[in-house]
Structure 1
């Protein structure tokens, strides 16, 4: 486990993040290696979880490339480049179902199928 990924997961656990999942997407993405998804129970907790990820990352010398969604608190994305963190309320997480989306192989990378006769 990379140091940044470990730092992110520990930061989420510290603030009682729920259902933390880390997905290795190296084979599916050219822009990131790991996707970390976590649920927070309220807007306030989602923001606190994301804030803690950012603060703990800074303590270990990692600064995010970008942060989106802090004003709303339903879904906050913290982008470190190789590691992208999604902190979401359960309803939003269920609706977008990123775990399923990122577990599927893109059609462009699948082997071509032979036409059925």
Structure 2
């Protein structure tokens, strides 16, 4: 994790791997929030949904394997047993995987956008659903 405004090359590579993994596993409404220079906890926060607890659990497990393969150490995970909300701490990237109704309740995107909702970007291959969809 960097202390400056720009994420390190390692953080950017890990971020890209995580976004690709979620896209491969058909995550819904994937959003990435850049935290570099705004928070010391990580350089990126990624939020995505699965359609069911089973999909959330599967996405989390596959993502953990890919992070371990890339970084040499497994990420810390919380919530995998229930799979309503799984938190994956991959160091430079924090990932939140939700079932849709749990994600709506907590609304982390709004909390972490630092007053700039445009800073939170959707994955290009998986845009957010239109309002009312």
Q: Is the shorter-chain TM-score for this pair beyond 0.5, marking a shared fold?
A: yes
From 37, 42, 56, give the equivalent of 2:66: 56
When the two structures are aligned, how many residues end up with a matched partner?
105
Note if contact 1:39-1:89 (Cα within 8 Å) is conserved in structure 2.
Answer: yes
From 73, 77, 85, give the equivalent of 2:95: 85
TM-superposed CA distance for 1:13, in Å, is 0.9
TM-superposed CA distance for 1:104, in Å, is 2.5
Unaligned runs of 5+ residues in structure 1 are: 106-117
Matched with 2:113 is 103
Over alpha carbons, which structure has the higher Rg? Answer: 1
Over residues 25-75 of structure 1, what are the superposed CA-to-partner deviations in whole Å (9 max), with x where a residue is unaligned? 123311111000000011100001111111111222343441000000100
User: Following the alignment from structure 2 to structure 1, what is the Cα–Cα distance between the partners of residues 46 and 72?
Assistant: 16
Unaligned runs of 5+ residues in structure 2 are: 1-8, 116-133
Q: CA RMSD in A?
A: 1.5
Report runs of 4+ in structure 1 exceeding 6 Å deviation: none
From 31, 35, 40, give the equivalent of 1:25: 35
TM-score normalised by length of structure 1:
0.83
